Structure formats: C-alpha cells, structure tokens
C-alpha cells in the first residue's frame, strides 16, 4: 500500500525561517537578498533596490509570523531586529519611507505599492508592541502624508455639462515620488496599472483604521476604494479585470475589511466578486495565475504571493459568513506548500568565491531551502525564470502560514471550533489529522465546553463520531460535528472512508490527471520538469535535476561534488 507525506504547517515554517535568516547580508545589518540566480553555475544572490524597499517590511512580518509559530531562536530574533532597524530608516519628504542610497540603487524614491508593505509592517509591529511611540508616529505620519498627496476628484466635466461625484474619489497623480523632487510627470515605475498598484495600500489602511481608530486612514481607504471601483475602470461590473492578480486580490481583501468597518455591503460584495473571479482562473489545488488575461494561459506562471492573497481573502470572506474553508485548506496544503523549495541539491555551489559588495555565492544550496517560487507551474518550478525564487513571495507566504495556523482551532462565543484538518497543539486542545493516509480528524480537549469539528465535503456521508473511542450520534450544527459539553481530557474524533481518486483538470493549458486523497493532491500527471512537484509518495527517491557544472579557475569545468565546501 502506498503511503504519502503528511502536511505539516510547522515544517513549512521551519524551512521558511531557514531562508529568512540565511538569505540576508550580515554586512548590511541583515539586509535581504531579493534576486536569486539558482540556475546559474555557480548559483548566487545579489542585492537590488527593492531589498531595502518592500522586502525589509514584508520580511519583518514574515519573521514575526514564523516566530509566533516556532518560538524564539537567537539568529532569527537578531535578523528580525535588523529588519526593524531598516524599517525605521530613510523616512523623508511627505512622510514616506524611501530606500537607503546603496551602491546598487539609483534614483532615490518611494512608490505607493511599496508603502502598502511598509504600512502593513508597521501595523504588525504595533500588534507586537502596542503603543510604541516611534512606530505609531511613522504609521500616522505615513497615512497623513499620503492623504496630502492624493488628488480629490470632485467634478466630471463631460460634453453635456459638469457633474459632481456622489462620493469621495481619491487617486495619486503618479506611482513614483522622488526624495528630491516629488511627483515628476516623466517618471513612472513602468509597471502600468497605476490605479491597482497604488491601490494595494487599501488593505493596510483599512486595517489601521479599524485596529487603531485612525479616521484619516479610513477616509483615505474609502476614497481610494471608490476610485478603484469607479473612475479607474479597472474592474468590470462582475469584478473581472485585466492585470496583476496579487494587487487585485490584496485590494479585494481590503474591500471586505473596509465594508465591515463602514457596514457597507457594497464593498464586501465587490471584494467577493474579485475573489471569485480569480478563483475561477485558479485550479482546485491552489495554482493561481500571476496575471489575468495578460498572457495565453499556457504562458502563465503562479506567483506564491497570489496564493497567499487567495488564502487571506478567503479567511476575510469567512468572517462575513462565506464558506471558503475548503479553499483555505486545499490551497495551503497543496500548491502553496509545493512552491516552497525543500531541497537545494539541484543548485551548483562554489564556496571558493568570496562575496562581493552586492553578491553572495556561499552555501546557496542550503540557504535557498524554505524560499518560495514566483514562477510556479502546476506540476513544476521553472528554474529558468528570473523569479524561480522570489523575495516578495518569501515575505508574504509566512503571513498566510500564521493566518492559517491561528484558525486551525479557535474560540468563538458559541464554543471551540476545529476548522481545518491540520495538526496543531493549542492551549485549548491538540488537533490531529490522518490525511492523506488515514481518514480521521480528532482533538484531545484541554478546555471543557461545546466543541465543533468542521465537516468538509470530501469526507463524504459515512462519518463516524466517537468520544474516547465510543460511538456517539453525529450531531450537525453550523457545518460541523457538534460535541456538546465535552469535558477537558476527552478525545473527540471523526472517522470516514478515504479513497484515492483521480480527476481531470485543465490548468495553464495542461490537461492534468490530479490524484487526490481527501484534501491532498498526492500525484500530478504528467509530471513537469525541471523541478518536479507533488512527489509525495514515501519510500521513492525524489526526481530532482542535477546541478550544472561550475567553471573552475582557468575555465575548466568541475562537477559540483568537486567544489570546495
């Protein structure tokens, strides 16, 4: 009988910590490396401007989330403190956060999509250190600085007359703001889609408004949302769009949060529409395209940031009553997990090279473990793509890890809920699941009360409920098996038949045979080169590509086994 790897959130987090703490530059106070050339001989990482823009912000959040899951570790804590120091540098005109003038950076500027990462990081920091005066000053100053920079659109001057806008409509006049010149019309990031890229700030604004009662943040969020949903013409009436999925789904989550804050269903429904549109473009197992309608489907790739956004948006929609638990579960344990690098044996390493001012070659095979791909295909990771590992994804993915981890078991007014079939030790109970090898979900209670174990569709109809090994009637409530007044120390368990099932699914132009066991994909056919995914059967050697030969001094190639370690 075949047996398969079991999904382990903590193992994903441990690998993420490896990358976050080792793909940093000690010479520059743990500055991250964004650009990773893993397919070159030898592999190397190098600094680029974005290292000290969004990365010090998102990697700080990632480090916090991993620490919450795994606890303290000296190197990890030192790196996290380095990210904090970077975050507090380079605050300048208009209250924006700019990058430091490193040798590899050119024009010193801020862009508004980067301010989304910065404000999100400051929100997270204030979670960790409530009332921290310096962080609050920076967050409040950033919000008010951006509010001063927007253009408030008030009048539509049309061929038939002048018509005032019915609601506040705010937009930024550009996406680049120079340290020494502000907005300059001839300067752009070149990304295009200014409205949605700038609009990424919506979700951290809404979060700050709700959490810290910041009325300026709420005003700015509402005006930006109205621009995105109206004047920008970015989304059609069904929430469909042409462009960058990461930005759009992050905005969708912001719309849901804003709708809750303002008690306006309009915003929630628009966020839901965007989410559902992207879900229609995604696979059942969590492959999400980086762009919508930009490339032919067979040329599209999956940026792990997009999977993170879908998981986080699904959780936001769950909080307004939608049932998206299956998306959270399947996306997390399948494509999200698979796009993390778990083995660096395919990388060519040359430890004889000394690191330069902007590059590092040392131990790249070990340091890349735990990184996430920005170029995933459903069945493989494309090593030729310059974002085969992406620094942006390494910053965002652990945030989704923590969000999922914190919702496996949660307290609500009605009782204690086991929402996801994932192993977790919690103060209220220890959750264990047998998937993909055995069909069971159980919790050993530490807190007495009414317990709810969520029933997922793939569990089928033949579900057996037991308490301490003895059969009890299966009571259903709120989509869960209900165990009323369970005492502390009880073992509550759901069991059901678990069979292997292969279904066809078309994804990225590929007609795939997807083999499922419960919520887990255990095999994809055809397999994809070069870095094959879904090799989950235990006892079978992994099929990884061989590392390329590394040119030695004098131009003679040497095999990776000959490299000096």
Instruction: Answer left, alpha or beta for residue 513, where phi above 0 means left and psi between -120 and 50 means alpha.
Output: beta
Q: Please identify which residue in the block is written with the tokens 């990461």.
A: 246
Residue 414 — pLDDT band, cuts 50, 70, 90? very high
Helix (H) or strand (E) holding 245: helix 245-262
DSSP-assigned letters across all residues of 374-395: SSEETTEE-TTSTTSSBHHHHH
3-state secondary structure of 368: coil
Tens-digit pLDDT profile for residues 462-508? 999 999 999 999 999 999 999 999 999 999 999 999 999 999 999 99
Tens-digit pLDDT profile for residues 368-392? 999 999 989 999 998 877 678 999 9
Q: What is the pLDDT of residue 552?
A: 63
Q: Measured between alpha carbons, how far is 561 from 547 in angstroms, rounded to an integer?
A: 10
Q: Measured between alpha carbons, how far is 25 from 36 in angstroms, rounded to an integer?
A: 13
Domains of the chain, earliest start first: 410-495 (2.60.40), 502-562 (no CATH)
Is the pLDDT score of 36 beyond 90? yes
**Radius of gyration in angstroms for the set of CA atoms belonging to the chain, rounded to a whole number:** 24
> For residue 233, what are its two tokens?
């013409």
Q: Measured between alpha carbons, how far is 334 from 509 in angstroms, rounded to an integer?
A: 19
Q: Measured between alpha carbons, how far is 404 from 413 in angstroms, rounded to an integer?
A: 20
Q: Measured between alpha carbons, how far is 360 from 100 in angstroms, rounded to an integer?
A: 20
Tens-digit pLDDT profile for residues 530-553? 899 999 999 998 888 888 887 765
The predicted model scores a pTM of 0.96
Q: What is the pLDDT of residue 547?
A: 87
Is the pLDDT score of 281 beyond 50? yes
Which residues share a beta bridge with 483?
A: 451
> For residue 509, what are its two tokens?
């132009």
Is the pLDDT score of 337 beyond 90? yes
Q: What is the pLDDT of residue 553?
A: 52
- H helices of 265-374, where? 265-281, 304-318, 325-331, 337-338, 364-367
3-state secondary structure of 493: strand
**Within 13 A of 151's CA, how many CA atoms are on the CB side?**
12
């Amino acid at each position: 009988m075949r047996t398969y790897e079991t999904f382990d959130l903590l193992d994903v987090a441990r690998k993420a910590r490896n990358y976050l703490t080792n793909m940093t530059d000690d010479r520059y106070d743990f500055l991250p490396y964004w650009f990773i050339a893993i397919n070159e001989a030898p592999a190397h990482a190098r600094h680029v401007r974005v290292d000290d823009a969004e990365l010090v912000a998102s990697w700080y959040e990632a480090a916090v989330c991993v620490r919450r899951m795994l606890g303290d570790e000296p190197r990890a804590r030192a790196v996290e403190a380095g990210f904090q120091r970077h975050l507090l540098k380079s605050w300048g005109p208009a209250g924006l956060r700019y990058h430091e003038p490193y040798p590899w950076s050119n024009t010193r500027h801020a862009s508004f999509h980067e301010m989304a990462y910065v404000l999100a990081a400051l929100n997270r920091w204030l979670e960790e250190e409530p009332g921290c005066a310096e962080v609050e000053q920076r967050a409040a100053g950033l919000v008010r600085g951006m509010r001063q920079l927007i253009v408030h659109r008030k009048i539509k001057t049309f061929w038939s007359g002048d018509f005032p806008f019915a609601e506040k409509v705010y937009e930024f006049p550009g996406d680049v703001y120079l340290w020494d010149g502000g907005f300059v019309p001839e300067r752009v990031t070149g990304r295009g889609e200014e409205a949605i890229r700038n609009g990424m700030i919506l979700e951290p604004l809404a979060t700050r408004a709700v959490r810290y009662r910041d009325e300026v943040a709420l005003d700015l969020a509402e005006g930006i949302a109205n621009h995105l949903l109206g004047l920008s013409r970015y989304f059609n009436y069904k929430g469909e769009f042409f462009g960058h999925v990461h930005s759009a789904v992050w905005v969708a989550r912001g719309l849901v949060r804003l709708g809750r804050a303002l008690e306006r269903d309009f915003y929630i429904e628009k966020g839901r529409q965007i989410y559902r549109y992207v879900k229609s473009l995604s696979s059942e197992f969590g492959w999400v395209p980086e762009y919508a309608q930009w490339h032919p489907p067979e040329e599209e790739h999956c940026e792990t940031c997009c999977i993170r956004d879908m998981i986080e948006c699904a959780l936001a929609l769950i909080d307004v009553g939608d049932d998206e638990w299956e998306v959270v579960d399947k996306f997390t344990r399948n494509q999200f997990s698979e796009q993390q690098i778990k083995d660096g044996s395919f990388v060519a390493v040359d430890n004889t090279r000394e690191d330069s001012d902007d590059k590092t070659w040392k131990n790249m095979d070990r340091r890349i473990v735990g990184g996430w791909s920005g170029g995933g295909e459903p069945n493989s990771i494309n090593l030729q793509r310059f974002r085969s590992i992406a620094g942006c994804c390494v910053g965002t993915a652990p945030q989704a890890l923590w969000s999922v981890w914190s919702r496996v078991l949660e307290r609500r007014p009605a009782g204690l809920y086991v929402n996801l079939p994932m192993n977790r030790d919690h103060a209220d109970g220890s959750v264990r699941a047998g998937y993909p090898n055995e069909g069971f979900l159980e919790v050993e209670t530490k807190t007495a009360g009414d317990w709810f174990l969520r029933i997922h569709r793939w569990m089928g109809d033949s579900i057996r409920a037991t308490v301490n090994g003895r059969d009890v009637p299966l009571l259903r409530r709120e989509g869960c098996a209900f165990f009323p007044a369970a005492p502390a120390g009880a073992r509550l368990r759901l069991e059901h038949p678990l069979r292997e099932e292969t279904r066809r699914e078309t994804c990225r132009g590929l007609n795939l045979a997807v083999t499922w066991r419960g919520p887990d994909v255990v095999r994809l056919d055809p397999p994809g080169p070069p870095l094959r995914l879904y090799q989950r059967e235990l006892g079978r050697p992994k099929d990884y590509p061989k590392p390329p030969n590394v040119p030695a001094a004098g131009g003679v190639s040497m095999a990776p086994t000959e490299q000096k370690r």
